[in-house]
Amino acid sequence: MTKDKSAKSELNLPKKKKLSSSESRAPTEEIMETKVKKKRKNVEAEEAPVQILSVMKTADDKKQKKDKKRTKKQATEQTQTKQTELPDSSSCTEAMQELEGEKDQEEELSPEERRVLERKMKKILKKEEKKRLKAEGQTLQNAEAAGPSAPQQALDYLTCWAENRSAWKFQKTRQTWLLQHMFDSEKIPEENFFVLLQYLEGLRGTARDTSVQKALSLVEESGQAPDDTVVQQRARRAREVVQLFS
């Protein structure tokens, strides 16, 4: 009887459900996927500081480049401001020292930037040399102008009138110089004064009247300084001019 009851109880128990192969793999795949996600998070967490350091390094490099450009720009502006004025030797020396200081500070300058600084120093030295020559009365402009002086041009004009009339051409500037200095024996020698008297024969108008008045004035002054050789020399020429126009 007891065996019958146990048999019945076994018959009444629910049967265990067998899992299919796909259902048995599902939890395993979920576990693997969870592990992969955790590993990926760990890798990302490790790479994050490296990326931050890279970004910080890039920002520092950009800042250094910006500071370098600003320093170079300031040096250029300072040099341009100094070039607007002609520096004396002391200011030029100070400028050179400043440029050299900038060059020492910028030891990492490129070859092109160093050449720019060298050109700036050469310009300053050139201006200092130009000012020195000007102080000595030997400016570059006067050195390049290798032409005859105004007195020589006037005398050449007079000689051309006397010896080569076909090539001669009237020039009011040369005639004015001759009239202003015709009584000065140092500027117009005797041989040239003789030619000048011939030239004055054709003088007309205001220039003729002015020359006569100046000659008369010199003759009157000579009476007040009979012992002055220069005054008497001018008076002699003045008398010849008055006689020519009378």
List, for residues 28-50, the tens digit of each pLDDT value.
667 777 766 766 766 555 555 54
CB 127 within 8 A of CB 98: no
pLDDT in tens, the chain (246 residues): 444 555 444 445 454 444 444 444 556 667 777 766 766 766 555 555 545 555 565 666 766 777 777 777 777 776 665 554 444 555 555 655 655 555 555 556 777 888 888 888 888 888 888 888 877 776 545 544 556 788 899 999 999 999 999 999 999 999 999 999 999 999 999 999 999 999 999 898 999 999 999 999 999 988 888 888 888 999 999 999 999 988
Q: List the Cα angle 222/225/227 in 5-degree steps.
A: 110
Which pLDDT does position 73 carry in this prediction? 73
CB 197 within 8 A of CB 178: no
Which pLDDT does position 19 carry in this prediction? 46
Which pLDDT does position 111 carry in this prediction? 79
Residue 200 CA to residue 223 CA, distance in Å, equals 25
Q: For the chain, what are the domain ranges?
A: 40-138, 150-245
Residue reference for tokens 């600084």: 117
CB 194 within 8 A of CB 237: no
pTM, full prediction: 0.43
Tens of pLDDT, residues 6-30: 544 444 545 444 444 444 455 666 7
Which pLDDT does position 86 carry in this prediction? 46
Which pLDDT does position 45 carry in this prediction? 56
Residue 178 CA to residue 153 CA, distance in Å, equals 10
Which pLDDT does position 118 carry in this prediction? 84
Which pLDDT does position 87 carry in this prediction? 46
Which pLDDT does position 133 carry in this prediction? 80
Q: What are phi and psi of 194, to 5 degrees?
A: -65, -40
Residue 113 CA to residue 103 CA, distance in Å, equals 9
